[in-house]
A = this chain, B = another copy of it.
Amino acid sequence: MTTILNQHEDYHQAQDAYGFPLIIKQLLNRARIVSRHQTISYADKLTYTYAEFFKRINRLANVLKNMGLKQGDMVAVMDWDSHRYLEAYFAVPMSGMILQTVNVRLSEDKVLYTINHAKPKALLLNAEFAPMIKNHQFDAPSIEKVIWFDDEDAHVAELPSYVDGIYEDLLSSASDEFDFPDFDENTIATTFYTSGTTGNPKGVFFTHRQIVLQILASMASTALNAEGQGVRYTDVYMPMTPMFHVHAWCVPYWATLIGLKQIYPGRYLANKLVDLIEEHNVTLSHGVPTILQMLITEMNQRGGKFNGLKISLGGSKLNESLAKRAYECGIEFMCGFGMSESCPTLSRSIFDDKQKAMSLEEQINYRSLSGSPILLVNMELWDENGRKQPFDGEATGELVVRAPWLTQSYFKDHDAGNELWRGGWMHTQDIACITPDGTLKIVDRLKDVIKSGGEWISSIEIERILSLHPSVAEIAVIGIPDERWGERPVALITLKPDHTNTTAEDILAIGHQAVEKGHLPKYGVPSDIKFVKEMPKTSVGKLDKKVMRQMYSQNLF
């Protein structure tokens, strides 16, 4: 990077010219002028206006300052999706502090690991998660200040001694005026931990600039979609990806930037989510396929339909049978691709004229792919030797990316960071192909790829085919060591409640048929089928193939 001209005297900044750093406080400029009367709700407990929200951000900033916290200090949050979380999304980084969004669905030891690795000075703690941090002075010693909240008034009487104040009390007694400073846009705003499917969780971190740019590009890419699949000034937003997980894909930030009506649902309970969607006419959300399944099951029980609710899916591959059910249930779903390291969105389904001409089958197939790169994103496919592969819909390679919002390393782990960025591109560890018109198809996780008899097999491809058997509720294909072939695929399957008579042979018959029709190589038919009651999943609802492989090797299925 070289500076060419910005210091040339002809182009000098005027004395008082405002350079406009891309910092999170700027996201509120428009909403402060346009959306003062718009509302934000917390489940069925609370509704207030943006005007009130702005004041509460100021109050929270004053609370943190009055506690002696300073720019550069880290503030952790342990909560379900709430208005409080949204307040922290703004007040903490706007104060120049770093927001740590703690993944509360990890095991207790992993939660403590992430806290003790990040070393936050303060913690905003939902009473429900108090047991996780145990005796925090011993178990999470970096934490000097704990702010407590509790949706059930009953708990308030039993406040632990380490609590420095109750969230609402502290806010009430703080001033509602705060002059948020300008600072360098490359200041770190947030940190959180990857869910750790491989080894210990790794910390990623994002600057103010990165978050602002992810918001603009990701939102604009969605807004450009045709009717029914875009985002509009009229949308009503509710997250169904946890706010601890990659800033709920940054959508709470864009919702606030646009000035949308927002609903925060608390803990995800299927009946409450559907209640809120119906009560507030929620039109815009996002989540992993597991959440989609929850919603559909609940709505099917009620005998109703969603009215074109737009849900962006990510996190894991949507299988076509779930896609079909979503479609039938009145959900406008679209897929995307991203990861913790990428803030997260890199690609999304786009909707232009082509989709209108598609049959239902083609639509569902298209929507289940990973879309095309969002604005500004650059992608390449590299083979094992770093050679660039063509975008012809056939050639596969590791997807490597460049975008203005990628974690620049791992927190306190430079070796892993250098590995992530080798060759100047961020390595996704996903094997993909890209069609001539730019649609991304994730073929497999690099580390999940099964190599049998010297040939790669896509476990996703096998899952896609076998999931067509009408008895299959959920399927995961893993590679297990094999003396003869190196690795062989094995399928774990949960059956639908009234299909328990289905046998492994029934399922495999589809595999053999696919071989006969040329859709699957012969060595792609699994060597073993295990019927399981529940699939091992990570804290954010992804299939946990690492755990599956361990359990399989120990005969635990």
Partner-B contacts on A (CB < 8 A) = 1-6, 8, 10-22, 26-27, 29-30, 33-37, 71-72, 96, 98, 182-184, 186-188, 205, 207, 213, 216-217, 219-220, 223-227, 230-234, 257-258, 350-353, 372-379, 391, 402-404, 406, 408-409, 411-412, 414, 417-418, 420-426, 434, 436-438
Check if A19 sits within 8 Å of B1, measured CB to CB.
Answer: yes
Q: Chain B residues near A422: list those with CB within 8 A.
A: 16
Check if A234 sits within 8 Å of B226, measured CB to CB.
Answer: yes
Check if B375 sits within 8 Å of A216, measured CB to CB.
Answer: yes
Check if A233 sits within 8 Å of B223, measured CB to CB.
Answer: no
Overall SS of chain A's interface: loop
Check if B11 sits within 8 Å of A183, measured CB to CB.
Answer: no
Q: Which of B217, B375, B409 contacts A13 (CB 8 A)?
A: B409
Check if B10 sits within 8 Å of A411, measured CB to CB.
Answer: yes
Q: Which of B3, B29, B230, B373 contacts A373 (CB 8 A)?
A: B29
Check if B378 sits within 8 Å of A29, measured CB to CB.
Answer: yes
Check if B438 sits within 8 Å of A10, measured CB to CB.
Answer: no
Cα distance A186–B12 in the bound complex, in angstroms: 12
Q: Give A423's nearest chain B residue, CB to CB.
A: B16
Check if B5 sits within 8 Å of A187, measured CB to CB.
Answer: yes
Given contacts A4-B187, A18-B425, A71-B4, contact A434 B33 (CB under 8 A): yes
Count identical subunits in the complex. 2
Q: Chain B residues near A372: list those with CB within 8 A.
A: 30, 33-34
Check if B183 sits within 8 Å of A4, measured CB to CB.
Answer: yes
Check if A438 sits within 8 Å of B35, measured CB to CB.
Answer: yes
Q: Which of B375, B406, B417 contacts A257 (CB 8 A)?
A: B375
> Can you list 18 A-B contacts with CB-CB less than 8 angstroms, sorted by A residue number?
A2-B183, A3-B186, A4-B96, A16-B421, A17-B408, A18-B424, A18-B426, A20-B406, A22-B213, A22-B404, A30-B376, A33-B373, A216-B375, A219-B220, A224-B233, A224-B258, A232-B352, A257-B376
A377 shortest CB reach to chain B, Å: 6
Check if A374 sits within 8 Å of B30, measured CB to CB.
Answer: yes
